[in-house]
Structure 1
């Protein structure tokens, strides 16, 4: 893992940056089942995970948190503010923010190369791997490989 070290805490490994900070992820999805599953899975992977139910709430968190998120995992189609606008607005505050876009019915053609895309439905293994890919800073496009 480049620039990251793992520290074992009980049965959980905390994913940390080179300066010993736990990696922070913001999960945004208007479907509470998907949102809650993603939060739990990523917490089990050792990340500090926050959640929002729409783009407006997520942008508010991005603008008020004292420490920026490392990765934004967002659904594309949501009420109030969709994933595309959220990514653009969040990056206006934090240009280094890595983004993963999830969608059941969308082509990735609008995404710039710095946004990773994962089509729904996806496996939990695939989202965990894609978060790690985002944190490693690679820009490959995602395909369901798990």
Structure 2
């Protein structure tokens, strides 16, 4: 959309490229953390509802190891089923109670693992992923079971990724 507006306003391509090149993503919202052994790690900790996780998965162009979970707010995970079936190779649950996630996706992915820290989730996701995959933290849940808030969850995830 911004490219169309730029054309209408007759902005030069060089100006557009320079502006887009300087754009910095919002922290904890589809934030690229690192590429390790050919695996992209993406922090979308701000995705505290199913809609946000849907958009994150929709944007993925590679196979995904999805880290999700936390305080479930009565989520209806059905809207994620098609995307999980087509893009997600494994789910790493991050939270104290993951039964609803297991129930929702047990027929859609072969591997669903429970974890109880960002460090454990990052390590397991790294081992489940392969070169060319993405590890996506997009919880679809609140963070208050294990973390102070979504920022704390995202920061702990980023620190854990950097330790891999």
TM range (shorter): 0.3 to 0.5
TM superposition score normalised by structure 1: 0.45
Higher relative contact order (CA 8 A, sep 6+): 2
TM superposition score normalised by structure 2: 0.41
Q: Which has the larger radius of gyration?
A: 2
Greater share of strand residues, 1 or 2? Answer: 1
